[in-house]
Structure 1
Amino acid sequence: MSQREVAQLGWRLKKPVVMVGMMGAGKSAVGAALARRLGVPFLDSDAAIVEAANMSIPEIFARDGEPFFRLKERQVLARLLSEARGVLSTGGGAYLSAENRRMITEKGVAVWLDADLDLLWARVRHKDTRPLLRTADPYATLKALYEARVPLYARADLSVKADAGYSVDDMTDRVIAALETRPDVLERT
């Protein structure tokens, strides 16, 4: 389905769509494309944290540690979920917190971009902006994170399988198709 076709269908988003999943799954890219298609705001929790702290996420981790970052993440999520009906991209660890999952389920709908380990590694292995992967063996670290996190991501309201062959537009089409199954979230006007 093209962007023009979606716009012609006249969708109305009834609650926030929250993109969850591993680093490298495409949450920001697909979330931004989805927001454009639906004509709603796009918000990124990591970008909001960076703006509020006036420092990068790796700097926050280095200076204040992961527990401090997770506290700020929870506060930012609460604020963003309350502000506007739109599409919200979260950091890879945001959905791990039971409190965050509860908040997302109460105020929005969680969409898990389910990418396999090989695809994630291909997307993140050359980036140095991932503080959790700054280890002696980043692949082993990513694999351990993946194995620990997938059971929690599987609790999301909707799941959309990512594949290396899919473009951002393809993934956006798949997310819209999943959202169409939820009239409490997306309706035609």
Structure 2
Amino acid sequence: MLAQRLNRTIVLVGLMGAGKSCVGKRLAACLGLPFVDADREIEAAAGGCSIPDIFAIHGEKVFRDGERRVIQRLLGNPMHVLATGGGAFMDPSTRALIKEKALSIWLKAELDQLLKRVGRRNDRPLLQNVDPRAKLSELIEVRYPVYAEADLTVESADGPPDVTVQRVLHAIEAGLDQATQP
């Protein structure tokens, strides 16, 4: 069974709307592991202050500093599935920590799919008062080369989340098989 072959936390990275939380919950259930959403943990650490409020009151730098500390703490916990915010993997020290302590999986999605998904919520700090298509295109250009440093890349399917979950499970299995071959 796949869960028994794993020996490290699975960290999902990718842009907002890629499905990290939705896929992460289902993936954790399939593997019998706890699911943790880094954004929810950051809000809890900030005394219940929402991420948009942290951005508005303190700015992105303070948010990223807190995010780094929370992810570092979470990676010290027993094995789980962790969904990170879209910018977390961009921080070099957070990325190095994830590489050292976890299996990173980039959920890669196309622009139109991301636009469709992020349009369902209006609590995305980086999409406030900007053209979402232009901003997401800019983020894709800057972040995709960094996300490509993740251990595995899985296309986030346009359709039921369980399709992407199955893709992730197959990618993990293939990665573990490859790592054990002489």
Structure 2 equivalent of residue 45 of structure 1: 38
Q: Secondary structure at the match of 2:59?
A: helix
State the Cα distance separating 1:137 from its structure 2 match: 1.7
TM-score, length of structure 1 as denominator length: 0.89
Number of equivalences? 177
Distance 2:119 2:22 in 1: 18
Match of 1:89 among 63, 68, 83: 83
Which is further off, 149-158 or 131-140?
Answer: 131-140
Match of 1:31 among 18, 24, 31: 24
Q: Is the 8 A contact 1:50 1:57 kept in 2?
A: yes
Show structure 1 runs of 5+ residues with no match. 1-8
Structure 2 equivalent of residue 3 of structure 1: none
Q: Secondary structure at the match of 1:82?
A: coil
Distance 1:24 1:10 in 2: 27
Show structure 2 runs of 5+ residues with no match. none
State the Cα distance separating 1:10 from its structure 2 match: 6.0
User: Using a 3 Å threshold, how does the CA distance of structure 1 residues 10 and 143 change in structure 2: closer, same or farther?
Assistant: closer
Distance 1:10 1:125 in 2: 35
| Structure 2 counterparts to residues 1-189 of structure 1, below 5 A | 9=1, 11-12=3-4, 13-53=6-46, 54-165=48-159, 167-183=160-176
**Sequence identity (%):** 47
Q: Is the 8 A contact 1:24 1:123 kept in 2?
A: yes
State the Cα distance separating 1:169 from its structure 2 match: 1.1
State the Cα distance separating 1:182 from its structure 2 match: 2.9
TM-score, length of structure 2 as denominator length: 0.92
Distance 1:52 1:162 in 2: 29
